[in-house]
Amino acid sequence: MHNVTYVRDFFQHDTLPTGPSTGFRADHWAMIDGDSESSWADARLTSKGEIEAMDLGRFWTRDMLPRGVPFPEQLYSSPLTRCIQTVTLASQALDDNEKNHNKDAPSIRVAECLRETLGVHTCDRRSTRSDLATSFPHLMFDEDFTENDELWQTDHRESFEECTARLTVWLQKLFAEDASDVLLVAAHSGSIRALLRAAGHPDVWPGRGSINPLLLKAEVV
């Protein structure tokens, strides 16, 4: 059984203050890497998003721990930069608390299956493994985590059914390989919805930066 708290990534650089009436994510804008002023390929958190991610860690320490919610033993993140930033910044407060209790801080494991809906939108194309390891040297990667993004395609946007199948694989791997009781998972709206569906949960569209508990129990059949 796993006690999972999942959090959706915070505000990132994939929206423009002004733009076409159809919205930024439509057509042209979603398919290019950026404009003359900014880049949104593998979008990073905005300064507002960074502050909110740090507040998440403080919230856990200040409000959740006194209510009996234990700190996570293992942290998981999508390999997209905005999620890695979210869980990294949030974990700083967790790290400080664990050190005060003479415990090892939980590690952050990058899971390819936790990515946002694959394809077409450049904000959902991940950076290379080398770049991620350089920017975030504290991360743990699976041995089969490839150097380049081999899943994102320019001409195919993943369906919800395909995304659900991907998250089902991750759940199976989680129960097979991780004995931790309490987990924190940083992912995206699409992958969180798919995770819930794979777990047999009613459909929920998580708000940006939302924090939600999920108790997972698997049975061998």
Please report the pLDDT score of residue 17 as a whole number.
42
Per the prediction, the chain carries an average pLDDT of 83
Q: Is the pLDDT of residue 146 over 80?
A: yes
Task: Show the DSSP H helices in 23-156 as ranges.
Answer: 27-30, 47-59, 81-100, 129-135
Rounded to two decimals, the pTM is: 0.86
Q: Is the pLDDT of residue 28 over 60?
A: yes
- Among 46-50, 110-114, 131-135, 189-193, the minimum mean pLDDT is found in 46-50
Please report the pLDDT score of residue 130 as a whole number.
97
Q: Which of 46, 79, 86 is nearest to 211 (CA)?
A: 86
* Amino acid making up residue 74: Q
Residue range 23-50: mean pLDDT, rounded: 72
- Among 1-5, 51-55, 120-124, 147-151, the minimum mean pLDDT is found in 1-5
List of residues 6+ apart from 130 with CB closer than 8 A: 147
For residue 21, name the pLDDT band (cuts at 50, 70, 90).
Answer: very low
Q: Where does 2-216 sit in CATH, by number?
A: 3.40.50.1240
Q: Is the pLDDT of residue 22 over 60?
A: no
Q: Which of 122, 119, 102, 109 is nearest to 14 (CA)?
A: 122
Residue extents of the structural domains in the chain: 2-216
Please report the pLDDT score of residue 95 as a whole number.
60
Q: Which of 7, 164, 2, 182 is nearest to 85 (CA)?
A: 7
Q: How far apart are CA 124 and CA 112, in angstroms?
A: 12
Residue range 163-176: mean pLDDT, rounded: 94
Q: What is the pLDDT of residues 56-76, one digit of tens each?
A: 888 888 888 888 878 888 999
Between residues 19 and 166, which one has the greater pLDDT?
A: 166
Q: Which of 114, 68, 63, 66 is nearest to 87 (CA)?
A: 114
Q: What is the pLDDT of residues 178-212, one digit of tens each?
A: 988 888 899 999 999 999 999 999 998 888 777 88
Please report the pLDDT score of residue 79 as a whole number.
96
Percent of the chain with pLDDT over 70: 79
> Quick check: helix, strand or coil at residue 120?
coil
- Among 34-38, 148-152, 201-205, the minimum mean pLDDT is found in 34-38
